[in-house]
Structure 1
């Protein structure tokens, strides 16, 4: 079968860990089924915040991977302040937790490296890829950000080679992301971020968003935007051993949890339940799988939840899925402000695939709430709904205690990675016609 080549420009690629790598790893896995042959362009020596060697097993056989060297300033930043390594994972201290070193580092990051610290890879990549695309007769490229420097590679290539087709994939928004307001930007820096974002929106042939709200916002700002969410891969669950039935009522959070998404009212509600309900206290376990901010862990360890904590740290993707399946309830959090309504954490789709009930926190009328309602998979709360949170947890606990907590059986096929790749292939078909 003759497959049309598509160049995918992505910073994250195995052995990178975390959710950022999985979107295009899975697209690359299934694109050949729809007549397209992905070619990956990625750094030779990246500075990844997390590593997961098991994801290498999911890289398609015989896929062409092109690499060039990148220079990043993170090593210098980490010498100034060890907490700067959080930047690589989209984390940093906020509010009263900020030291002067943190404040300085955030200011430097936001104003000196626009749009981000991978910007030094843009010009060398454009020079290399301009020649590579011509020599290999590839006329369709995809850029995946963040880091949004990847989109600047696409923007420059489109300007130099007007006949190429370009899809800009935004796994997260640029200036609309919640932590943008914490970057301590000068007016000039803010203007430059917004100008570059606007140029990407108006120049790309298609802009992909991972949520319905983001796609709508992108369209308002001049983009030809379409939503293709993240999803779950049925083969991931099939490759896992059968989950064990837990003897504990286990609420699990899988992934990175930073200060800006800390559900403090949930912790307060759980502390009250542990204090007043001795049976619940005996049965309850709070499990973390992934990178949890040190300040959050410290506060929990100094609370009445201390003896109920199980912190497993970062686990490989396959083991993380097994921990989801070994849980009773699955926790998901989002930034509390309204501008975050469009953020759909990638973990929700793997949560859905387990059939477990999901408890979610974030702004009202969020896209996450739409998905949970559509699939009957759980409940979405505002951060201050303390009494409603307690009622929900107690209701699920009583059902679990009596063996009546059933798993969701709703249709989630539209979120399978293969079906989502089919949607992507239809966009590629449009560009090729």
Structure 2
């Protein structure tokens, strides 16, 4: 069996959106002739503690761990945050933040930690892995980012050893939705783009999760970009069926950053509640996961505060149960310049849960390409009030069967095909 080294920052028991793609693919790759070896930090900053994910790690997978030094405790101390507070991504703040310390810390992080706060792990990892690979050869390496420092580790190994390399972009680098908020100097912006260009040019293959993002990466210099979306794993579903809510629950799972706010949707739901008292009596808007304070304020401003239920971070297993309970699952596509290619991992888990999905975003985007079959619907932000009757009908629509096109088994076949082109 061929061997592939996977360089990933996220690995159980660390949870969060970044862990699932390679946790699931590494479980299935041996069925296609590739034995994974995982390289990951020994002591990463914890995004979400989820030991239940450990059950998905195959017993025959070797996991190589090395210590990492990260600046987050210094950042927390400087800004007055608790050292136990989880670091959020995408400029999400559950409480109002501000002041010169936050601004200065962001400026330092953006301009001196390039491409990200894990950059101190690059040189020691390259040094260690060069020796390790000489004793433990592999047929290919995969780096997955963000954090994009993982790609720089692979770039160093490519240049030193000539090993075949796949760069996997779960999110863009300089096209990421919050890049413009990083307050970069011209020097820092140029360095980001220089490093990104080197990764895209020197990787043997580049993989990303959506079709529009593949086009964007090709414009930046990538030679051969494969689209391998995320997917759902049927094994994640609870063994016993979870009953669907009696209430008309509209449920969002995962982080809600400011760019996911949808005041147009809150307005449409408010109009629905005003027009149909029977609907209003049963309607619940449920957020499961961290929510930026601006979104909670926007919901309340629309007059939906009495309908809002909030649950903090939950384990992956609990999230799946929330999905199966929901009358309708809510996908909010970030309102950012790269919105056409936004295809969150949770979308595919929604599909696996078999409940109707309401997507709010561009009808020409990649999310609409996935949600192209009933009972799902994607509605542009500007058309939500006009389509409120269509939204209301979704709460009593029959469930659909999970679409096999988007299973992890199907996406793993595609990843193995990419690896096979190299070895």
Deviations 1:242-273 (A, max 9, x none): 11132101100001111111112112222233
Q: Distance in 2 between matches of 1:389 and 1:186?
A: 44
Q: Distance in 1 between matches of 2:292 and 2:286?
A: 14
Matched, 1:70 2:68: yes
Deviations 1:285-333 (A, max 9, x none): 1111111123323443566322222212111111111111111111011
Equivalent residue, structure 2, for 1:406: 398
Equivalent residue, structure 2, for 1:113: 113
CA contact (8 A) 1:49 1:89 kept: no
Q: Distance in 2 between matches of 1:99 and 1:334?
A: 29
Equivalent residue, structure 1, for 2:206: 207
- Greater displacement, 388-397 / 140-149: 388-397
User: Structure 1 364/113 Cα, relative in aligned 2: closer, same or farther at 3 Å?
Assistant: farther
User: Structure 1 55/103 Cα, relative in aligned 2: closer, same or farther at 3 Å?
Assistant: same
Matched, 1:371 2:385: no
Please give the residue correspondences for 1:379-398 in structure 2 after superposition, counting only pairs within 5 Å.
379-397=377-395
Equivalent residue, structure 2, for 1:171: 170
State the Cα distance separating 1:99 from its structure 2 match: 3.8
Please give the residue correspondences for 1:50-61 in structure 2 after superposition, counting only pairs within 5 Å.
50-61=48-59
Please give the residue correspondences for 1:223-238 in structure 2 after superposition, counting only pairs within 5 Å.
223=222, 224-237=224-237
Matched, 1:258 2:257: yes
CA contact (8 A) 2:146 2:169 kept: yes
Normalized per residue, the structure richer in helix is: 1
Q: Distance in 2 between matches of 1:13 and 1:396?
A: 36
User: Structure 1 295/337 Cα, relative in aligned 2: closer, same or farther at 3 Å?
Assistant: closer
User: Structure 1 83/332 Cα, relative in aligned 2: closer, same or farther at 3 Å?
Assistant: farther
Q: Distance in 2 between matches of 1:395 and 1:412?
A: 21
Matched, 1:425 2:416: yes
Q: Secondary structure at the match of 1:287?
A: strand
User: Structure 1 14/407 Cα, relative in aligned 2: closer, same or farther at 3 Å?
Assistant: same
State the Cα distance separating 1:335 from its structure 2 match: 1.7
Equivalent residue, structure 2, for 1:157: 157
Q: Distance in 2 between matches of 1:220 and 1:297?
A: 37
Q: Distance in 1 between matches of 2:66 and 2:129?
A: 10
CA contact (8 A) 1:77 1:105 kept: yes
Matched, 1:18 2:9: no
CA contact (8 A) 2:209 2:228 kept: yes
State the Cα distance separating 1:4 from its structure 2 match: 1.3
Give the TM-score taking structure 2 as reference length.
0.94
Q: Distance in 1 between matches of 2:64 and 2:214?
A: 30
Equivalent residue, structure 2, for 1:41: 39
Unaligned runs of 5+ in 2: none
Please give the residue correspondences for 1:215-364 in structure 2 after superposition, counting only pairs within 5 Å.
215-223=214-222, 224-237=224-237, 239-301=238-300, 304-364=303-363
State the Cα distance separating 1:102 from its structure 2 match: 3.0
State the Cα distance separating 1:282 from its structure 2 match: 0.7
CA contact (8 A) 2:274 2:280 kept: yes
- Greater displacement, 111-120 / 45-54: 45-54
Q: Secondary structure at the match of 1:8?
A: strand
CA contact (8 A) 2:28 2:409 kept: yes
| Cα RMSD for the two superposed structures | 2.0
State the Cα distance separating 1:216 from its structure 2 match: 1.7
Q: How many residues align?
A: 419
Q: Secondary structure at the match of 2:421?
A: helix
